[in-house]
């Protein structure tokens, strides 16, 4: 496989992974709110400690009451029912809102966004190199990697690692 082909495949996979991760972390709304947002005060109506500290917040915009659940960004601040909280919302669509400044949320998530895109795209390139040309020196490795025992062990380790990381 030519180096230019590898570079193109890596670039496409990096961009694809960055888009997917960006959609998961709601980057389009965060970027729009960073550009133009309004602020109001809201009140914590419920807490969900078993959901990583998620809170339900009620806020009023132009006389209409909105209620939404939010993840507490920025150092996992703990809220209690009845706490007053700042809500950053879109003037065009008040249902698009966050309880932390959008720029700070983006800054907090940017390292993981880039690292995840790099790691996942590197994995895609490795898979392409292994399965594109199963000739030596990758032939033995591709047979090993595609064996059911190795695949199930890798999936088990990934799930176990994800569980351990979620506890922290």
Note whether residue 140 is domain-resident. yes
Note whether residue 8 is domain-resident. no
Identify whether residues 93 and 41 lie together within a single domain: yes
What CA–CA distances, in Å, run from 82 to 61, 63, 79, 110? 19, 20, 9, 31
Domain final residue pick, 43, 76, 101: 101
pLDDT for the residue 35: 86
Number of domains the chain contains: 2
Note whether residue 9 is domain-resident. no
The answer to whether the peptide bond before residue 29 is cis (omega within 30 degrees of 0) is: no
Domain span holding position 75: 35-101
pLDDT tens sequence for the chain (168 residues): 677 877 888 888 888 888 988 888 888 888 888 888 899 999 998 888 777 778 889 999 998 999 988 887 665 677 778 888 889 998 988 988 988 888 888 888 888 888 888 888 887 877 777 676 655 565 666 666 666 777 677 778 777 777 776 665
Identify whether residues 39 and 95 lie together within a single domain: yes
Note whether residue 74 is domain-resident. yes
**For the domain that residue 93 is a member of, what is the CATH number?**
2.40.50
pLDDT for the residue 135: 59
DSSP per-residue codes, 65-84? EEEEEE---TTT----TT-E
């Amino acid at each position: 496989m030519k180096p230019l082909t590898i570079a193109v495949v890596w670039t496409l996979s990096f961009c694809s992974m960055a888009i997917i991760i960006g959609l998961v972390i709601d980057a389009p709304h965060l970027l729009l709110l960073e550009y133009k947002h309004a602020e109001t005060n809201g009140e914590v109506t419920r807490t969900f400690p078993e959901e990583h500290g998620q809170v339900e917040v009620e806020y009023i915009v132009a006389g209409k009451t909105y209620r939404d659940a939010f993840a507490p960004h920025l150092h996992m601040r703990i809220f209690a029912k009845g706490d007053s909280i700042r809500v950053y919302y879109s003037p065009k669509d008040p249902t698009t809102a966050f309880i932390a400044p959008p720029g700070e949320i983006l800054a907090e998530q940017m390292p993981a966004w880039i690292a995840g895109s790099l790691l996942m795209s590197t994995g895609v390139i490795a898979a392409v190199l292994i399965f594109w040309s199963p000739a030596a020196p990758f032939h033995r490795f591709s047979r090993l990697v595609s064996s059911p025992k190795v695949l199930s062990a890798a999936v088990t380790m990934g799930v176990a690692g994800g569980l351990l990381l979620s506890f922290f």
